[in-house]
Structure 1
Amino acid sequence: MRTKQAVADAVALLALMGTASCDDGAGPSGSQSGQVPAGKNGGRAGGGSDGDGTAGAGGRVEARLAKVAGTDELVRLISNATTCTSASTKPKDTTFSDIDDSSEGAAVDIARTNATWGIKERVTCDGRDACVNGHELLVISDMARFEAAFKARQAADLAAGEGHTRTRWFIGQNFAARIFATDSDERDMLSLGALGLNCAPHYAAPPQSTTQPAIVEGCILTNYVDA
């Protein structure tokens, strides 16, 4: 359980971060602020080291985001932003179409993809509608590898006319999450110590938002959630 001091520290850090308006549309590139949201409600803010999801991050913003110990803690963290029930780590439930090439969810295919994307563990849970496609939750072992794979997939999807430029993935120090919920729930992800990841070419968040370079060139981290 977090101590009162840790909670106070998180509140103080949140107060330092400028609030962003979430109007529709995109504009010129955002400011290069050094402020990041602090982890809370199960997400632990702080530095990391190689092997725990922050490989390649060094002193970058990713290393100052929230961190989880594993899938159980990740589910508890996400539950503070949106409904997250009936969690599962089974391959048949954690085969995600925007990550995996195979729809069968074979263990060998998942292991291969995990290695490519720097994924350590996978878990999914149901949103308030309990839809077939639940929230996609990943514990990351190498964030630089994840960002590189995500950038390549986003570029391929856009080239095929199947992707979009909206920010829908959120990352912490060692986790990545795509939640299928309301815009309000997605914005609540920011208060958990996460930032949106976007690698779409020429993507620009509005000027009132906070935007920072991610580990991989061509990717950004932002506190702007597209409506």
Structure 2
Amino acid sequence: MSTEIGTDEEPSHWHDDIGEDVGNRLNWLRAGVLGANDGIVSVAGIVMGVAGATSERSPVLVAGIAGLVAGALSMAAGEYVSVSTQLDSERAMLAMEAEELERMPKTELRELAQIYERKGLSHELAQQVASQLTEHDALGAHAEAEFGIDKDNLTNPWSAALASMVSFTVGALLPLLVITLAPHALRIWSTVVAVAAALGVAGFASARLGYSPWGRAVLRNVGGGLVAMGITYAVGAIVGPHV
């Protein structure tokens, strides 16, 4: 993904690669990156905690698989409910706005013109823009100007839920496979290194998707994951012998 900006002679917009379906694309990209990150940290914490309590592989594997399945389903359900609530709100606002346009079109036209006046247009130009947009698509114009909603591109809860579930599963598989397959003497450090690398990649990806500096994002991601693993391992090591 390139964020290079062109010139008038060679125009190139930083957002060209996003495309027109910005809302839905950013929605599932956000869900995907966050899902992968949560999968890595959550399951790494679980397997590290169990590994701190026992040297046997089977409890670690069982706990890791349980955490993976539960986490993936929880992420999918949570994302679906959250985005569905947003979608219900968007549909309700569109329905109310459509009723207002039907019952008081002149008032709504004045309201739309005032919005563009507040954005810097002259009174005459704002009236002209509002009139033309209303003739073209009154509901679409009001939805975008008043609520920032694209009525033809509403959020999709299924894509967000699927992205979260798949990405959580992919992220969770890494620490689970590493700690299960690595030699016993190296399983802890192998997992730490693998998880730190994966979190670094996830932090870099999230920063690039958001067009923000990636250095801080990587440090936050890796640092938070290492702290979580360290604490859970310590808890397992302390509690395990007494259970």
TM over 0.5: no
Q: Whose helix fraction is larger, Structure 1's or Structure 2's?
A: 2
Q: Larger RCO: Structure 1 or Structure 2 (Cα < 8 Å, ≥ 6 residues apart)?
A: 2
TM-score (norm 1): 0.24
TM-score (norm 2): 0.22
Structure label with greater radius of gyration: 2
